[in-house]
Amino acid sequence: MFMGEYQHNIDLKGRIIVPSKFREELGESFVVTRGLDKCLFAYPMDEWEILEDKLKKLPLTKKDARAFTRFFFSGAVECEVDKQGRINIPQTLRSYAVLEKECAVIGVSNRIEIWSNDNWQEYVSTSEESFAEIAENLMDFDI
């Protein structure tokens, strides 16, 4: 399980350190793709395969299913951690998530997310205000 929040800078070549606590669980190679809320999602291969199977089952006749699947898979890249503990994020993904310098790398159960620090701070600030309401709405899911 991935959890925690770490601050790292992305360099001009698009390299960012993957926190050491996440590296072992991510494995030798893993998938990074566009996430929701203007961040990137990174999945270990076994989790990616589970997600891939679920997305394959979406009905091709549904416009939203086709759009989401295209968006998700077209941004996906396989990454490997280098000897310095970094991955290289392609420019298209850096642009999507507005990754320019300071970043937040967070653990979210079965995946990690990579955010621009500004977007992450804004998201946390906005979500804190409605956290109790969000929790109340999730009570139906037995949380």
pLDDT tens digit at each of 143 positions of the chain: 999 999 999 999 999 999 999 999 999 999 999 999 999 999 999 999 999 999 999 999 999 999 999 999 999 999 999 999 999 999 999 999 999 999 999 999 999 999 999 999 999 998 877 877 777 777 776 65
Mind listing the domains of the chain with CATH numbers?
A: 2-116 (3.40.1550.20)
Q: Which of 71, 77, 62 has its CA nearest to residue 14?
A: 77
Using alpha carbons only, what angle is made at residue 105 by residues 85 and 70, rounded to the nearest 5 degrees? 100
CB 102 within 8 A of CB 116: yes
Cα(81)–Cα(84) distance, integer angstroms: 8
- pTM for the predicted model, two decimal places: 0.92
